[in-house]
Amino acid sequence: MCEYRHPVSLITKGALILRDLDLLSDLARDQLCSVTISLTTLSNDLKRRMEPRTAAPATRLKMIERLREAAAQAGAEQAGWIMIHLPYELDELFQDWLQRHFPDRARHVMNRIRDLRGGKSYDSTFGSRMTGQGPYSDLIRQRFRNKVRKLGLNGREQRTLRTDLFRRPAGDQMALW
């Protein structure tokens, strides 16, 4: 990616991303890189149950801090959120997981999810699929906006990755196939 100035977006839950901080910083200087850290919960107990074998919440927060420090000149200033959504292949799996780990809260959680999705576990409608709809979704959206404003995030338009710096490798790449 660095050699050919190829833009790249990464989404991770793992701390190994910091191993490549020098490479990511090089790409970020030319607006060729974006990194998204998935931070599902701040509870270690819930993280262990939901996302075993992934970095702890405190570690993920440190990753965000380190990436922001390294990319400050490149404008690392964005935060985003996605409301839980359960595409059909995940619905039954998630409900089974809830029953195993939180049987006393499973009904409440599923009712809240359905409230966000017009009575269903999933709604594929563009514009509400990732955020839900209704009063609870509006409350989360408002709280998120207030928090990012307080933290000084999302103050300007999100930058797009540059593609004009890409250099095509020499040789016949199609021969790889």
Closest CA to 114 of 100, 95, 96, 99: 95
Q: Give residue 122's pLDDT band: very low, low, confident or very high (50, 70, 90).
A: very high
pLDDT value of position 53: 92
Instruction: Average the pLDDT over 48-71 and give the result.
Output: 88
User: Has residue 56 got a pLDDT over 60?
Assistant: yes
Maximum pairwise Cα distance, the chain: 61
CA distance 94 to 52: 15
pLDDT score of 62 more than 70 = yes
pLDDT-derived band at 156 (thresholds 50, 70, 90) equals: low
Q: Please tell me the predicted confidence (pLDDT) of residue 79.
A: 82
Chain centre to alpha carbon of residue 174: 33
pLDDT-derived band at 106 (thresholds 50, 70, 90) equals very high
Q: In the chain, which residue ranges form alpha helices assigned H by DSSP?
A: 21-29, 44-50, 57-70, 88-101, 106-116, 135-151
Angstrom distance (rounded) from CA 131 to CA 135: 12
User: Is 82 a residue whose pLDDT tops 80?
Assistant: yes
Q: Is the pTM of this model over 0.75?
A: no
Give me the pLDDT at residue 71, please. 61
- The pLDDT assigned to 176 comes to 67
Residue 76 has pLDDT above 70, yes or no: no
